[in-house]
Amino acid sequence: MGNAMLQVENLVKHYGDVQAVRGVSFSVEEGEVFGLLGPNGAGKTTTVEILEGLRTLDSGRVSVCGLDPQEKPQELKQEIGAALQSTSLPDKLRVMEALRLFASFYKRRRRPEDLLKRFGLEEKRNTFYNQLSGGQKQRLALAMALVNDPKVLFFDEPTAGLDPQVRREIYDIIEELRREKKTIVLTTHYIEEAERLCDRVAIIDHGKVIALGTPRELKSRAGATTRVEVRLSKPESNGIMKNLEGVVDVREVDGAYVLHSQRPPQTIVSLVKHLEAQGNELVSLEIATPSLEDVFIEMTGRRLRD
């Protein structure tokens, strides 16, 4: 299956009548941070759990570190590290005890003391798990994922539910790992997370990869345009909005109109004149450069977090 650190070919997984993953294919090179970006229920976690050997596939082929997760699960576990969506440890397990316990599972291991220092948990070494904050629990989960010095790391929604400050701390840790050329597979539904951390991104929706490339390549699909999102007091037809000066595309999403304009100042002037003529009012207006969400909207007509 080639020389990539990780390869997926036509992966399919059903849960009864529900087809959670429908022919997903991608590869990840050594030292690359690869993102699976999509809304909840898109099939990201199922895909990662198959790669980790936690679930069996129905059809297709996968390879991680040159190993088939179903044929050689024990060998695979020695080569990978994982931080799942939620980590649950016994309430009265101390931080250092947790790291030493996880280190005992592996042939190759790092010193727990070094991991405590790296993840800012030295002062919490004797703290019970149930006394840690959400951010400290996540840092411990990342430390445990690194305890065997893995070749591939899987981070499944690593900042979900964390406040913005803690989220930025986790970003800093992942960026440090990226500089160390660690191979990382990251699932997320946060646009800024994928754009900031990932070398390449696969956008997944309803179990399929609908776009694949670097964040810059994917955003270039929006062309040399600016995103103008407006909310109006009364609805307008998409056809009328598309006829505004400079507009090359318009989508109605969640009660707002998302316009892509090649000349935003002229578009706004044209919009205001039109609204005045129609007796309509502008409720809100937001201008931004195109993001990965614009690619998702363009291909699905929905927001990533609908």
Q: pLDDT, tens digit, for every residue of 173-230? A: 999 999 999 999 999 988 889 999 999 999 999 999 999 999 988 888 766 688 899 9
Range of the domain at 247: 224-289
Do 285 and 185 belong to one domain? no
Do 129 and 265 belong to one domain? no
Do 246 and 276 belong to one domain? yes
Do 210 and 229 belong to one domain? no
Q: Does residue 303 lie in a domain region? A: no
48 closest CA partner among 38, 217, 135: 38
Do 152 and 244 belong to one domain? no
Cβ atoms of 284 and 221 closer than 8 Å: no
Do 164 and 276 belong to one domain? no
Number of structural domains (the chain) is 2
How far is the C-alpha of 12 from the C-alpha of 14, rounded, in Å? 7
Do 229 and 210 belong to one domain? no
pTM to 2 decimal places: 0.84
Q: How confident is residue 113, by pLDDT bands cut at 50, 70 and 90? A: very high
Q: How confident is residue 85, by pLDDT bands cut at 50, 70 and 90? A: confident
Do 43 and 168 belong to one domain? yes
Do 179 and 238 belong to one domain? no
Do 174 and 209 belong to one domain? yes
Q: What is the CATH number of the domain that holds 282?
A: 3.30.70.100
How far is the C-alpha of 144 from the C-alpha of 129, rounded, in Å? 13
Q: Does residue 295 lie in a domain region? A: no
Do 203 and 235 belong to one domain? no
Residue 34 CA: distances (Å) to CA of 29, 43, 65, 126, 280? 9, 16, 15, 35, 45
Cβ atoms of 154 and 164 closer than 8 Å: no
> Which three-class secondary structure state does DSSP give residue 128?
strand
